[in-house]
Amino acid sequence: MRLRPELRDPSTVATVLAFAGMVTGTQGEWNRATALYEEGLALYREVGEPGGILSCLQPLGIIALIQADYQAAAPLLRKACALRARWTIR
């Protein structure tokens, strides 16, 4: 994350954010992980990278499940499943 100010490519920044989200999530820092994944998701959507979008949607849904926020989890996981189905059919 210290390198982030030097990174210029949105896809690279999104990847760093997603990995940081994964690390923070494994430490149980759900709110911080959610913020990192959401920021990465926005960048992946901006550049139109389906694999990256999926790599953020799934953990966001799982974090919502862990926190028993089923109303938030359901649409995130539905979107992830739909994207996975479209992406793998190509």
pLDDT at 9: 84
Question: What's the number of domains the chain is made of?
Answer: 1
Give the CATH number, domain containing residue 52.
1.25.40.10
pLDDT of residue 6: 65
**DSSP symbols for the chain:** -TTGGG---HHHHHHHHHHHHHHHHHTT-HHHHHHHHHHHHHHHHHHT-HHHHHHHHHHHHHHHHHTT-HHHHHHHHHHHHHHHHHHHH-
Q: What is the pTM of this model?
A: 0.87
Domain encompassing residue 77: 4-89
pLDDT in tens, the chain (90 residues): 555 556 678 888 999 999 999 999 999 999 999 999 999 999 999 999 999 999 999 999 999 999 999 999 999 999 999 998 887 655
